[in-house]
Amino acid sequence: MFHVEPIADDVPEVAQKIFGSRLELAVRYWHALATDGVEHGLIGPREVPRLWDRHILNCAVVGELIGDGESIVDIGSGAGLPGIPLAIARPDLRVALVEPLLRRTRFLAEFTESVGLDITIIRGRAEQPGVIKEVGGADVATSRAVAPLEKLAKWSLPLVHEHGRMVAMKGATAGEEIARDRAALAKLGAAHIEVVECGVGVLPTPTTVVCAERVPRRQKR
């Protein structure tokens, strides 16, 4: 169980803008990552000074791309990124975290239970039939630093309904990945593929995201 002492003096001002009345939940998540997350190897000790900017806030602003009340499946969730920041910033969303490693799912379960976040946690891999059966048909599949784009699409698209979206947090090479994998993505049923920046004018460095829509695959003749 988590024993949390909020550290208000360490919270950047922009966090209030992003999380609003739920800022305390975000602070508690920061503390959980900085303590139990480091202890259990989910977060490197060197990441602690930049947990807000590099991990929590840049995940939360991805909510700009998600509609009211939509359902999210966060694949390879790890320490809960981006799923937990999204669930804190956007309580209207229905969030499921998919993670194969037991120690990580334990961390996720203990934290979400301790703060009362209504999040579904699934231990498994995104491509497993049981996972697809349990959380498939979502509006959005999110991910962060999980895999190259083609592989990520193979895992993400089966988890969303037709015209649902893959929203993958990527770095500066996002455009290059799209150029490299565009033909393969089309075969997988990905369309309207684009690079989007979230948090422009809010964060010093906006979050780079690759978005794609799931469409029916072309039938072979």
Q: Which two tokens stand for residue 200?
A: 């422009």
Residue 196: strand, helix, or coil: strand
CA separation for the pair 75, 189 (Å, rounded): 18
* pLDDT tens per residue across span 64-105: 999 999 999 999 999 999 999 999 999 999 999 999 999 999
User: What is the count of structural domains for the chain?
Assistant: 1
Q: Are 47 and 54 in contact (CB under 8 A)?
A: yes
Going by pLDDT thresholds of 50, 70 and 90, the confidence category of residue 219 is low
Q: Are 83 and 18 in contact (CB under 8 A)?
A: no
- 220 falls within a domain: no
* C-alpha dihedral, 122 to 37 to 44 to 197, nearest 10°: 60
- 175 falls within a domain: yes
- 121 falls within a domain: yes
Supply the range of the domain harboring residue 20: 8-214
**Cα-to-chain-centroid distance, residue 173:** 19
- 106 falls within a domain: yes
Task: Give the gyration radius of the chain's Cα atoms.
Answer: 17
CA separation for the pair 100, 169 (Å, rounded): 19
Q: For the chain, how many residues are written?
A: 221
DSSP assignment letter at 16:
H
- 3 falls within a domain: no
Going by pLDDT thresholds of 50, 70 and 90, the confidence category of residue 9 is low
One DSSP character per residue, 147-169 reads: S-HHHHHHHHGGGEEEEEEEEEE
- 2 falls within a domain: no
Q: Are 104 and 98 in contact (CB under 8 A)?
A: no
CA separation for the pair 192, 213 (Å, rounded): 6
As to burial, measured by CB atoms within 10 angstroms (0-12 exposed, 13-18 middle, 19+ buried), residue 160 is buried
For the domain that residue 120 is a member of, what is the CATH number? 3.40.50.150
* pLDDT tens per residue across span 16-38: 999 999 999 999 999 999 999 99
- 56 falls within a domain: yes
- 30 falls within a domain: yes
* pLDDT tens per residue across span 148-206: 999 999 999 999 999 999 999 998 899 999 999 999 999 999 999 999 999 999 999 99
CA separation for the pair 63, 52 (Å, rounded): 16
